[in-house]
Amino acid sequence: MNARTVKKIRVRFAPSPTGHWHVGGVRTALFNWLFTRRNGGAFVLRIEDTDAERSKKEYEIEIIEMLRWLGLDWDEGPDGAWVNGEWRGTSRGEYGPYRQSERIELYQKHLETLLRERRAYHCYCTKEELEAERQTLLSQGLPPKYGGHCRALKSPPPGKTPQVIRFAAPEVEVEFKDLIRGKVKFNTGLFGDFVIAKDVRTPLYNFAVVVDDHAMQISHVIRGEEHLSNTPKQILMQKALGFEEPTYAHLPLILAADRSKLSKRYAETSLLEYRERGFLPHALLNFLALLGWHPASDRELFTPNELIKEFDFSRIQKGGAVFDEEKLLWLNREHLRTLADETLAALLTPFLAREHIEAREPLLRRVVHIERERMKTLAAAAADTRFFFALPEYPASLLLQWQKTSPNDAARILRAVRERIAKVPEADFTPETLNRALAALVEEEGKGQVLWPLRAALSGKEGSPGPFDIAAALGPAESIRRISLALDKLASA
């Protein structure tokens, strides 16, 4: 590694680019990032792409793009590192992560050391032989572990070639302290000699992780509970190679509302989909932070900087964390409400463009001001506000839904509305002024008889904001045009 800063606390986020990035991986990245930002350490991004068949460049690109969208910045790469707020190395800005596929020589060196010291060995057993052994052990009620047939071989069996490299695991009890779970013990005799590489140039996950964590001076390994069973194997290899053992923390599982395994609908939903639906990155981070961690107070709304100040491993729970999309929607709505109108308008514009709407000022700003309290996601808000910019086609019957008003009565009322609002000066075209202008008509005809056909004429929808808000946003000319279109529909009804 070139010109890096060595800090007491160093963590790594190490995703495999074998599929879309999902919420579980994002939470792991977030907790690593929060821990190191709270403690002044370094956050290292490492792409674990030793599985050449399944690893895809597009998935790596997606991971990096999403980390940058979320603001989870990392501190170093193979070309340099941040030192005292400055980049030291051969590149700046768009620097990349470490990639295991670029570190094969390092793994080969340590694999050869283990082979030379007889702490690892070539295994010649075929898949068929291993499966037969497995079935025999299962039929006897024994753990289906490898029996170690090739461990004592002095030379290759005649006519056979090496299939894999196995670690010669001693039968001991491995104990370590987990920051979340406390003392954890494993009996290594239950899993036998495990595979660590296909050959000296093709390491597998467990081995490459051990070498990289040592080489990168990782102090804390923070990852999901599903990796807990890998930890004793990695500790055994650390001891065999003379490496220092990092501190471990295994995060709780993410569960469905009924505390069952999270359904594929959410577990396999790419983070890209949440961005496409218009969730704010800060809201998503806020939601994921509360999946397994809770602050000292009852507060639920946090910015990333506030999360950094509050984050503490002592407040991470051991039990599974429930994924509740309604809670995510609520948090997103609350974060949207904190944004200024101009910021919200800028964020909404590309989502309106997806609806084939060219958002125009000052109408866009007025629309945002009216709709901001109802917004849950930007994509839904764009769909809901589309009518402000382009009146949708609607049937004349929509204008008559209030107590089955007749076409003649609805037309009479809309003509009276048009006449009254036409007298309101453009500079004074506000919801309050429009309310006063139509107050007498509303009292005479009835609130629903006036406001339903007016709202329908202005929006072309069954559900929308109140008619005075819509008219004020549209302005007098567009409001009168839409009322006239409604009258044309009623004339043909």
The question of whether 264 is a catalytic residue gets the answer: yes
3-state helix, strand, coil in the chain (%, to 5): 50, 15, 35
Which amino acid, one-letter code, is at 41?
G
- The CA distance from 469 to 369, in Å, is 10
Q: To which residue do tokens 């919420």 refer?
A: 23
DSSP 428: G
Which region holds residue 320: left if phi is over 0, alpha if psi is between -120 and 50, else beta?
beta
Q: In this structure, are residues 42 and 246 in contact, taking their beta carbons and an 8 Å threshold?
A: no
Distances (CA, A) of 49 to 16, 208, 359, 478: 6, 10, 43, 57
Residue 428 C-alpha from the chain's centroid? 45
Three-class SS state of 188? helix
Q: Would you state the torsion angle of the CA atoms of residues 330, 333, 337, 340, taken in this order, to the nearest 10 degrees?
A: 150
Burial class (CB in 10 A: 0-12, 13-18, 19+), 244: exposed
Burial class (CB in 10 A: 0-12, 13-18, 19+), 137: middle
- Cβ-proximal residues to 11 (8 Å cutoff; 6+ apart), any chain: 32, 35, 36, 41, 42, 43, 44, 218, 219, 220, 221, 222
Q: Among 264, 309, 327, 447, which one carries the catalytic annotation?
A: 264
Asked whether the bond before 362 is cis by omega within 30 degrees of 0, the reply is yes
CB atoms under 10 Å from CB of 393, counted, come to 6
Three-class SS state of 342? helix
Active site positions, annotated: 264
